[in-house]
Structure 1
């Protein structure tokens, strides 16, 4: 724990050849697109002009390695109000350029905190469609949605009509079954008997109309 504190103190303020250097906070990470330009910076404050920076790239596989300048990799330095910033520009960043970049001051053991560079490749379209094709697809989807709503409604309406017709047919058949076992002649004979019984003369007769006839009358 004490070693970590000493390292932090030495990283924050360092004395170099009768001069003083204070390391500024670096950008934690930088994300750029494949084949785009990436600019990294490491800044520090110093009261002398002889402090130079050298870039180091740390990789989990190969460890720390110095960054070699080339046509695609340019190292520089700028000073603004006694704050010196070492710059590293990658003109066309590649996937292999990803990693942690740190600055070493005046070829000493003083190293900045560093910036992690992430190079990403955008997703490619699996199907390249024109605007007209997209509009046609949207119209087809709208038509299918309309049919999905209309067809079930028409089917339900047609089914309800069929059920109503079946109920009417069933009611008519039940009415026919009621009179199916009856004979018309028997019904007429029974009706005549009922009607004759209503009009027949009972045993109570009128005495005045039957004076001359000798008929034995019943006692009421």
Structure 2
């Protein structure tokens, strides 16, 4: 009887040990399962985050890119030019802006259609890009048939050389279009160069380059005009 009673605590301890082991196994299983679920959820969240980052980068590039020509758009130009204007002011360097207009583009569209007109805009954009040899130079579509070029650390003389190179490269595309300026499609270009300062805003640079462009049109188009005070009011 005593031997039987002596064995009872051992059995109880064994049962308790088994129960503890069972609970431990259940907890361990649940923890592993929970850990696996968490890992899967974390993986899914990382995939979503990566997808969102990629999409945001893509949307960001689209917001600064002209959908037709693939070059930067006017929104990007405003951002880039403000940056270059501020940098040139700090470095006390000259900054040059070119405004470019396709001659009689509306007439071209009316003659050949908008599909062909879109193709020409793409060709002209590429032609301008190929004419810019420095990494610091950039071109953007300003709107419609107008393009704008930023030339950091460059004076009017060298800016006009770049402008003339652009003009001749567009003529060199030999796009048939008979007009008052010849038998091929051409561009007019206005050039302005100045030193950025607090009394000479970034907007004034663009206005002066635009004034020079109007002078180029008044002088017969298919030419380069450099800004002077006489450009105002043209």
Q: Which TM-score applies when normalising by structure 1?
A: 0.28
Larger RCO (CA within 8 A; separation ≥ 6): 2
More strand, by proportion: 1
More helix, by proportion: 2
**Structure showing greater Rg:** 1
Q: Which TM-score applies when normalising by structure 2?
A: 0.27
